[in-house]
Amino acid sequence: MSTLPMATSRRRALGALVSLALTVGGCQSETRSHAADGASARAAIRIADSTFAAAAAAHDLEQSVGSLTEDAMMFPPDQPPLVGRAAIREYMRESFATPNFSVSWTTDTVVVSSGGDMAYSFARSRYTFPSRSGTAGAVDTAYGKGVSVWRREPDGRWRTVADIWNGAPTLPPIRPSAPRE
């Protein structure tokens, strides 16, 4: 049993509880702040992604390429990886110049890293291109699913650093069970 008077023990216990409450409150405030930062980053990525999608749909080569980091990589289906903006620009230029080519996508989920400088997203896409049937004027439609990796650049903009996709039937929204937006 302690030799400290009861009042001193109570003051120490009260002090410990206050200290604990302030620590927990600070952590909760930090968690709320981190959640707000994550929500803000997700919103910024969605804007960047929508801008990229609109540029690609309009066949705006420079705006599309501007949505990528300098060291970006793309992994188109059944092709070698495209490394860097110059290789991706050429791939996009050829695609945009193809008669009846179109691309559109819908991003379903964006997950931001705890550090707030990296993220990934899941998307569903639709492409049209000249038919492989050989029938003049015929157009084929293909659907895909993909993952993009995003990085916040030194200028504060979010840009795609890696993009991979492959074929898929039409899909419902891609939403992992955790973590949720």
Q: 152 has which bridge partners? A: 158
SS3 of residue 118 by DSSP: strand
Percentage with pLDDT > 90 across the chain: 67
- Candidates 63, 84, 81; CA nearest to 72 is 84
Output DSSP code: residue 129: E
Q: 57 has which bridge partners? A: none
Domain of 141, CATH number, reads 3.10.450.50
**77 inside domain:** yes
In this prediction, residue 179 carries a pLDDT of 53
Question: Which H helix or E strand runs over 76?
Answer: none
In this prediction, residue 102 carries a pLDDT of 96
Instruction: For residue 41, give both structure tokens.
Output: 């980053």
**172 inside domain:** no
Note the pLDDT tens digit of each residue in 46-97. 999 999 999 999 999 999 999 999 999 999 999 999 999 999 999 999 999 9
**45 inside domain:** yes
Distance, CA of 89 to CA of 62 (rounded, Å):
8
Note the pLDDT tens digit of each residue in 6-45. 455 545 544 443 343 444 444 443 444 555 688 999 999 9
SS3 of residue 147 by DSSP: strand
Instruction: For residue 99, give both structure tokens.
Output: 């008669």
Query: What value does the mean pLDDT take over residues 146-173?
Result: 92
Domains in the chain, number: 1
CB 107 within 8 A of CB 123: yes
Between 166 and 179, the more confident residue is: 166
- AA identity, residue 130: P
In this prediction, residue 168 carries a pLDDT of 87
Range of the domain at 31: 6-167
CB 60 within 8 A of CB 92: no
**16 inside domain:** yes
**178 inside domain:** no
**175 inside domain:** no
Distance, CA of 70 to CA of 91 (rounded, Å):
15
- Candidates 65, 57, 59, 70; CA nearest to 89 is 65
Distance, CA of 62 to CA of 76 (rounded, Å):
19
